[in-house]
């Protein structure tokens, strides 16, 4: 065992001294939390600025009463012959025209932006308020109240778990991040430990040492699993710490966000049991992926050849992601949990949503372990075969 | 001691070694000489248990290469010209890494590293450098130090001076004689005849997988009128 640990230590030492590889691992740690939080922060900042700013509205044909309401809502009312043009030329933040019983609002945002501008939203709110006021007056003239028009209320509630709601976008990202980073984080070490030994002509010195092939494989595998898990969980830690940091230090900007966007941003809401379960699932997945990479890596003659084998496999790994994107429309079946790769994504997804069943989770664990052992057998065979090790 | 008996190695249709036999005694340097592709490297790789023989047998330090590979490796060191060690590790880390496979730890390991460094003229300061920052000659010395760290009974050197400058080459040739004087068994494989003349006690000429001549260095020199290269060419022509 000490030989295996020594080999694992050597692989990891080589790994951390490779600046390029280390950068690949550390980048997600910084970049992913930034990508997750920065858009929300910028949006919050933008909303906050927009709320505090006195916005200019260009109007035409708008009654006096509505103009007062707009002024009370902090709008600077500007009469214009062509409100649409005023908005286009950025003389006003929003435009409004009343003609033939219809109010038309001119929004400044481009067609690509599905969101309406803050000024438009506020104008719509004022208009809605005015509409209700007019409606109430008319109803009252007939001895009726607004409530008389609504015999019952309608409410739509999401059935997703509280945990999933609390996690927001994180609930969707975590399964992808774990699976994707286990693959990418382990790959560099696996290739360096296998085909790298061939290309750098170090393999003969290593194989001439009195170490059994299974110990060699174990040592190299350990290093790959450690690197893969470090990569995945460093990014998870990045997500969590980034979220906590942003919520703690930029609460004003977050409060300024509309509720639906704030919900999307989410908060770190995984329990330690969830994390332990995700970790165990990831360990098994890392074992499977490591076996695949070592089996192919030792078979390949060059890095290029190894990448040729691994690239299609990575494409195959995208299939679970694609299926997962349609998860709202697909009824998840038990056999999904036993599929290589897909099972892990689905299992982590159910853990994150707090809706996993022990049977389905057990199915993923058992199948991933079985696939891992099967591929490990091929990796061991490859490590023991001279025509593979000295293939050139 | 090395005992090779009717050793054969075939790769599909290619017969790389066609039944060679020889014995190398402790304290002896055996020159395995031949042109490129003659079968020298294949023979040494079989002795180092990196390749399996197709038929025949070979024993290294009394252990069978096919059945007792780990015991063979414990008693053997191998160096070849193309062999490299991990360039991201320091010289010391490389020796520490390989030393641990031979149960060398702590003070014992330090002692062995100091011994190998002295024998190969490696300065202590160089050992703390990463291998990638060393000269080619120094890198080759680290490769050799790795192979002798456990003071193996048998040392196989295959084109070990390839890429070495004149000083490093001289140090290596001196080391070969010194190591044999410690009672160790060495095979020195090369196609540079002048090197073989300098260090070998006995020589074997190998060509196209067959051993075409074997004898004491002095006898081989007489065969070529005092020139090993001439003897080598003459013997190969006779065998053809």
The predicted-structure confidence for B145-181, as pLDDT tens digits, reads as follows 999 999 999 999 998 887 777 887 888 888 899 899 9
Q: A227 - beta bridge partners? A: none
- Report pLDDT for B166: 85
| Number of structural domains in chain A | 2
- Report pLDDT for B71: 94
State the ipTM, two decimals.
Answer: 0.91
What's the CA gap between A129 and A148, in Å, rounded? 18
- Report pLDDT for B20: 92
Contacts of B73 in chain A (CB under 8 A): 208-210
Residue A264 lies in a domain: yes
- Report pLDDT for A181: 84
Residue of A nearest to B87 (CA): A14
Joined together, the tokens standing for residue A79 give 């009469």
Whether A382 and A234 map to the same domain: the answer is yes
Question: Which H or E element spans position B216?
Answer: strand B210-216
Taking alpha carbons only, the member of B153, B137, B147, B176 closest to residue B63 is B153
Mean pLDDT of chain B: 90
- Topology of domain B1-75+156-239, CATH: Rossmann fold (3.40.50)
Task: Answer whether residue A26 shows pLDDT above 80.
Answer: no
Residue A49 lies in a domain: no
Contacts of A391 in chain B (CB under 8 A): none
CATH of the domain at A80: 3.40.50
Give Cα separations from A272 to A181, A351, A361 (angstroms).
21, 12, 17
B154-158 β-sheet, strand order: B76-80, B154-158, B185-190, B29-33, B202-207, B210-216
Residue A235 lies in a domain: yes
Q: Please, which residues 15-54 of chain A have a Cβ atom closer than 8 Å to chain B?
A: 17-18
What's phi and psi for B3, nearest 5 deg? Answer: -125, 115
Residue A360 lies in a domain: yes
What's the CA gap between B75 and B93, in Å, rounded? 22
Contact at CB, B83 and A204, closer than 8 angstroms = yes
pLDDT tens-digit profile of A218-240?
999 999 999 888 888 888 888 78
What's the CA gap between A46 and A147, in Å, rounded? 37
- Report pLDDT for A112: 53
Average pLDDT over residues B75-85: 90
Chain A nearest-CA distance from B22, in A, is 22
Task: Answer whether residue A378 shows pLDDT above 60.
Answer: yes
Among A102, A124, A149, which residue terminates a domain?
A: A149
Asked if A70 contacts A126 with a C-beta cutoff of 8 angstroms, the reply is yes
Residue A29 lies in a domain: yes
Which of B52, B85, B101 is nearest residue A202 as measured by Cβ atoms?
B85
pLDDT tens-digit profile of A126-175?
999 999 899 999 999 988 887 888 888 888 777 667 666 666 777 777 88
Q: Work out the pLDDT band at A35, boundaries 50, 70, 90.
A: confident
What's the CA gap between A293 and A306, in Å, rounded? 9
Residue A157 lies in a domain: no
Chain B nearest-CA distance from A184, in A, is 22
Longest dimension (CA), chain A: 101
What's the CA gap between A13 and A219, in Å, rounded? 13
- Report pLDDT for A328: 66
- Report pLDDT for A340: 84
Contact partners, residue A157, CB within 8 Å, separation at least 6:
none
Whether A172 and A295 map to the same domain: the answer is yes
- Report pLDDT for A287: 94
Asked if B190 contacts B161 with a C-beta cutoff of 8 angstroms, the reply is yes
pLDDT tens-digit profile of A237-255?
887 888 788 878 887 777 7
Whether A295 and A323 map to the same domain: the answer is yes
Tell me the count of A-B CB pairs closer than 8 A: 68
Torsion of CA A227, A233, A236, A238, to 10 degrees: -70
pTM (predicted TM-score) = 0.80
Boundaries of every domain in chain B: 1-75+156-239, 84-151
Among A102, A123, A149, which residue terminates a domain?
A: A149
Residue A271 lies in a domain: yes
Joined together, the tokens standing for residue A207 give 């194989």
Whether A385 and A304 map to the same domain: the answer is yes
Task: Answer whether residue A325 shows pLDDT above 70.
Answer: no
Taking alpha carbons only, the member of A41, A35, A8, A24 closest to residue A257 is A41
Asked if A293 contacts A367 with a C-beta cutoff of 8 angstroms, the reply is no
Q: Does B143 touch chain A (CB under 8 A)?
A: yes
What's the CA gap between A116 and A120, in Å, rounded? 6
Whether A23 and A142 map to the same domain: the answer is no
Per the listing, tokens 């090197």 go with: B195
Asked if A186 contacts A286 with a C-beta cutoff of 8 angstroms, the reply is yes
- Report pLDDT for A387: 79
pLDDT tens-digit profile of B188-233?
998 888 899 999 999 999 988 899 899 999 988 888 888 888 888 8
- Report pLDDT for A110: 65
More confidently predicted of A19 and A372: A372
Whether A295 and A191 map to the same domain: the answer is yes
Q: Is the dihedral of CA A328, A329, A334, A335 positive or negative?
A: negative
- Report pLDDT for A130: 92
More confidently predicted of A161 and A214: A214
Whether A60 and A38 map to the same domain: the answer is no
Domain with A95, as residue range(s), is 56-149
Among A120, A149, A178, which residue terminates a domain?
A: A149
Residue A155 lies in a domain: no
Task: Measure CA A355 to chain center.
Answer: 19
Task: Answer whether residue B187 shows pLDDT above 90.
Answer: yes
Whether A65 and A90 map to the same domain: the answer is yes
């Amino acid at each position: 065992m000490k030989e295996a640990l020594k080999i694992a230590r050597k692989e990891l030492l080589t790994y951390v001294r490779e600046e390029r590889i280390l950068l690949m691992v550390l980048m997600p740690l910084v970049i992913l939390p930034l990508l997750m939080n920065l858009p929300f922060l910028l949006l919050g900042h933008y909303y906050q600025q927009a709320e505090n700013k006195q916005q200019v509205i260009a109007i035409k044909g708008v009654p006096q009463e509505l103009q007062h309401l707009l002024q009370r809502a902090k709008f600077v009312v500007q009469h214009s012959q062509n409100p649409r043009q005023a908005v286009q030329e950025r003389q006003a933040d929003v435009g409004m025209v009343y003609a033939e019983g219809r109010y038309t609002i001119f929004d400044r945002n481009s067609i690509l932006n599905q969101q309406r501008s803050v000024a438009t939203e506020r104008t719509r709110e004022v208009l809605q308020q005015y509409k209700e006021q007019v409606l109430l007056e008319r109803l009252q003239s007939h001895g009726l109240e607004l409530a008389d028009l609504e015999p019952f209320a309608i409410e739509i509630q999401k059935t997703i778990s509280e945990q999933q709601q609390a996690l927001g976008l994180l609930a969707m990202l975590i399964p992808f991040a774990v699976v994707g980073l286990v693959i990418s984080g382990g790959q560099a070490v696996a290739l360096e430990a296998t085909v790298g030994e061939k290309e750098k002509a170090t393999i003969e010195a290593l194989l001439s040492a009195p170490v059994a092939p299974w110990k060699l494989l174990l040592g190299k595998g350990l290093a790959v699993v450690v690197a893969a898990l470090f990569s995945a969980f460093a990014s998870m830690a990045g997500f969590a710490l980034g979220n906590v940091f942003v919520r703690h230090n930029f609460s004003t900007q977050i409060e300024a966000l509309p509720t639906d966007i704030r919900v999307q941003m989410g908060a770190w809401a995984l329990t330690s049991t969830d994390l332990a379960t995700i970790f165990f699932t990831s360990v098994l997945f890392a074992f499977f992926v490591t076996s695949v990479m070592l089996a192919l890596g030792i078979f390949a003659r060059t890095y290029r050849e190894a990448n040729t084998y691994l690239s299609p496999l990575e494409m195959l790994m995208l299939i679970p992601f694609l299926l997962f994107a349609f998860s709202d429309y697909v009824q998840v079946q038990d056999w999904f949990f036993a599929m290589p790769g897909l099972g892990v994504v689905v299992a982590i997804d159910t853990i994150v949503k707090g809706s996993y069943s022990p049977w389905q989770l057990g199915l993923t664990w058992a199948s991933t372990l079985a696939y891992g052992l099967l591929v490990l057998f091929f990796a061991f065979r490859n490590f023991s075969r001279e025509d593979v090790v000295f293939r050139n | 001691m090395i005992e090779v008996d009717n050793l054969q190695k075939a790769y599909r249709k290619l017969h790389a070694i066609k039944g060679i036999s020889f014995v190398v005694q402790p304290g002896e340097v055996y020159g395995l000489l031949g042109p490129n592709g003659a079968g020298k490297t294949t023979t040494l790789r079989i002795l180092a248990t990196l390749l399996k023989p197709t038929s025949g047998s070979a024993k290294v330090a009394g252990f069978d290469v096919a059945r007792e590979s780990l015991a063979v490796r414990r008693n053997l060191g191998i160096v070849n010209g193309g062999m490299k060690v991990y360039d991201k590790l320091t010289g010391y880390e490389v020796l520490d890494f390989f030393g641990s496979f031979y149960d060398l730890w702590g003070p014992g390991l330090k002692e062995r590293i100091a011994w190998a460094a002295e024998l190969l003229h490696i300065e202590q300061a160089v050992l703390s450098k990463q291998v990638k920052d060393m000269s080619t000659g120094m890198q080759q010395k680290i490769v050799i130090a790795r192979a002798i760290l456990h003071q193996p009974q048998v040392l196989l050197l295959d084109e070990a001076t390839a890429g070495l400058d004149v000083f490093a080459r001289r140090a290596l040739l001196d080391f070969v004689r010194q190591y044999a004087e410690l009672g160790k068994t060495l095979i020195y494989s090369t196609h540079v005849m002048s090197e073989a003349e300098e260090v070998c006690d006995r020589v074997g000429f190998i060509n196209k997988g067959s051993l075409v001549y074997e004898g004491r260095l002095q006898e081989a020199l007489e065969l070529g009128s005092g020139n090993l290269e001439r003897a080598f060419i003459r013997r190969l022509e006779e065998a053809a």
